[in-house]
Amino acid sequence: MRALCACVAVGVLVVGGRAQQPAPAAADEAVAVPSDFVRFVAVDDGGHLDTAITTYRNGDVELVLFGAVHIADQACYDTLNDRFTQCDALLYELVGPEDYRPSKDRERGGFNPIAILQAGLKNALELQFQLDAVDYSPANFVHADMTPAEFERSMAERGESLLSIMLDMMLSGMKMQREQAENGDAAKAMPDLVTAFQNREGRHTLRLAFAQQLENMELLAAGGREGNTLLQGRNEKCLAVLQREMAAGKKRIGIYYGAAHLPHMEQRLVRDLGFTKTGHEWLVAWDCRKRLDRQYDRALVQQRRQCREDLARLAVAAKARRLAGDPLPTDGPLAGQPQQDPWGRAYVVRARPTGTRWEVASLGPDGVAGTDDDLVEQEPRGR
């Protein structure tokens, strides 16, 4: 399973609650290289999978590496969407047509086994998929990855295929497990999922098992062939775009790439391109606190669906009100829009904790603010 997790997390993106505040890393992590870009932190009978936000400087250019895991909690993506707006240019990974901008309503045709596997994990673990949660529409987003034709040509020149790359990673995983067993640190056995689901702990157990395995994805990815297309080849394309943006005068640049790409990318930045590491933060990607699985309740599912539809309408109306220069409503929800959620409580319109946009919210079935059943919708970005 370890090698499989790595393939999903590093996987090629092929296209045809509340935001969190990242936690500063320890003092020695802030400037030391090589860096860690993903970690699992155990806390009691749960924990959290974190991804890194790492800052470098070269003269007057500040560069931020945002480590991506392709499925994560919505709060993680909310934070990243806010941070991306602070970049003069945000270079993003996506093997697809040049400057393609994915959207939630994009076509999902074709057979892509990695994408199918990612979608299955997203649903099983109750997480969000990167292409659905990240807003790729802002003008500062810059495509910095291979096109499908470039990707196929590079693999052909190197004698590679996706199957050969995955096989290399699986062999690396087997080697790692063998070495851990020899050192008395064998990987934990797959948990008893049947019992876990019977006890309403199935999704928590799955999240915990996968999060602990994903911590090793950097080592597994690095264990493949030197200079492979999947990692180093795509990194070199990204770094070429970086140098182009620097030459164009961009001073604050972000790179949003899978966390497994970043050890090699950092090495090139520091060793060859003159950058010095200046900061390191950790952002929770998967919250693995122990909680019981939701019991299926048809009425509750319908209520939550209706609530999300109401919030989507309210978010559009809230944006129109803000852009018109009107203040936040103080006498209840917006006129002419849904007033109460399915549980009989007034919808809330409020300013977001960062930025200028507003958001709309329901306190959910429990009626208590700040709990896991809250439903929140931000006003749409862009036009």
Domains of the chain as residue ranges with CATH: 2-287 (no CATH), 298-378 (3.30.700.10)
Q: Say if residue 242's pLDDT is above 60.
A: yes
Per-residue model confidence (pLDDT) at position 59: 97
Tokens, residue 7? 């393939």
The distance from CA 239 to its chain's CA centroid, rounded to whole angstroms, is 21
Per-residue model confidence (pLDDT) at position 187: 46
Whole-angstrom CA distances from 193 to 4, 151, 203, 208 are 18, 38, 9, 12
Query: pLDDT tens digit string along 111-143?
Result: 455 566 666 677 777 888 898 899 999 999 999
Mean pLDDT across 335-339: 87
Q: Can you tell me the distance from the alpha carbon of 150 to that of 309, in angstroms, rounded to the nearest whole number?
A: 41
Query: pLDDT tens digit string along 254-297?
Result: 999 999 899 999 999 999 999 999 999 999 999 888 876 666 67
- Give the single-character DSSP code of 327: P
**Looking up tokens 């959290």, which residue turns up?**
48
Mean pLDDT across 324-330: 86
Q: Say if residue 17's pLDDT is above 70.
A: no
12 sits in which H/E element: none
pTM, to two decimals: 0.73
Per-residue model confidence (pLDDT) at position 8: 42
Q: Can you tell me the distance from the alpha carbon of 77 to that of 128, in angstroms, rounded to the nearest whole number?
A: 9
> Phi/psi zone of residue 230: left (φ > 0), alpha (ψ -120 to 50 degrees), beta?
alpha
Instruction: Identify the band that residue 107 occupies on the pLDDT scale cut at 50, 70 and 90.
Output: low
Output the average pLDDT for the chain: 81
3-state SS class at 161: coil
Rounded to 10 deg, the angle between the 162-182 and 2-10 helix axes is 140
Query: Exposed, middle or buried: residue 265 (CB in 10 Å: 0-12, 13-18, 19+)?
Result: buried
Whole-angstrom CA distances from 215 to 30, 137, 252, 260, 339 are 20, 30, 29, 10, 44
The count of C-alpha atoms lying within 13 angstroms of the C-alpha of 362, restricted to the half-sphere facing its C-beta, is: 24
Per-residue model confidence (pLDDT) at position 200: 61
Task: Considering only residues 354 and 379, tell me which one the structure prediction assigns the higher pLDDT.
Answer: 379
Instruction: Identify the band that residue 219 occupies on the pLDDT scale cut at 50, 70 and 90.
Output: low
Query: pLDDT tens digit string along 169-192?
Result: 666 656 666 665 666 654 455 555
Q: Can you tell me the distance from the alpha carbon of 313 to that of 114, in angstroms, rounded to the nearest whole number?
A: 34
Phi then psi for residue 128, to 5 deg, are -110, 150
**Looking up tokens 């790179």, which residue turns up?**
255
Per-residue model confidence (pLDDT) at position 257: 96
Q: Say if residue 106's pLDDT is above 90.
A: no
Instruction: Identify the band that residue 382 occupies on the pLDDT scale cut at 50, 70 and 90.
Output: low
Mean pLDDT across 59-81: 94
**Residue type (1 letter), 342:** P
Task: Considering only residues 136 and 14, tell me which one the structure prediction assigns the higher pLDDT.
Answer: 136
Of the chain, the percentage scoring pLDDT greater than 70 comes to: 74
Q: Taking a C-beta distance cutoff of 8 angstroms, is the pair 373, 365 a contact?
A: yes
Q: By mean pLDDT, which of 14-23, 56-65, 223-232 is the weakest?
A: 14-23
Gyration radius of the chain's alpha carbons: 22
